[in-house]
Amino acid sequence: MSLDLQVLQVSDLEEILDFENTKLAKEIPDETERRFHGWQARWRRESLEHYLRLGWSFAIREEGELLGYFLAQPLLFLDGQTQSLWVEHLQYLNLQARDTLCDLAVRTSREKHLQRVYFPTVHNLAPAVAPFRPENWQPQTSVVKTTK
């Protein structure tokens, strides 16, 4: 079976909300608590509407089924760098999807001549970005340099 990578579109918004809400229902059984969590989640509707319009967010699928995705945007002149990729949120169902998405963010940034990728340190991303020798930037953000 092959994994398909694609740029997310605004038309993918409802699918991502369903994906996140299904995953969240397994973690938080109480509906009221889930609703409160969703109000401040990085994948809330207004966040998705922003990121999906930019063309820097990607999904990974297997036979049409969503296995994971990340929300990202390029940032100019952050931390002394001309161009960087900010990964706001990354969600996945399995480790292969996680690793593929992290690799895609770094590879795409290199191809587009961005100097760094900023990854959130949540969701156990450390093993996926370890091959790129990340450095701590802020307590909740690791950074991978994509230039020498």
Q: What is the pLDDT of residues 22-52, one digit of tens each?
A: 999 999 999 999 999 989 999 999 999 999 9
pTM: 0.88
Q: How confident is the model at residue 99 (pLDDT cuts 50, 70, 90)?
A: very high
Q: How many whole angstroms separate alpha carbon 75 and alpha carbon 79?
A: 10
Question: Taking a C-beta distance cutoff of 8 angstroms, is the pair 116, 143 a contact?
Answer: yes
Question: Taking a C-beta distance cutoff of 8 angstroms, is the pair 101, 91 a contact?
Answer: no
Domain that holds residue 36: 3-145
The residue-averaged pLDDT of 100-115 equals 96
Say if residue 140's pLDDT is above 80.
no
Tell me phi and psi for residue 43, to 5 degrees: -105, 15
pLDDT (0 to 100) of residue 96: 95
pLDDT (0 to 100) of residue 26: 93
Alpha helices (runs of H) in 59-144, residue ranges in sequence order: 95-111, 126-129
Say if residue 57's pLDDT is above 80.
yes
The CATH number given to whatever domain includes residue 104 is 3.40.630.30
Q: How many domains does the chain have?
A: 1
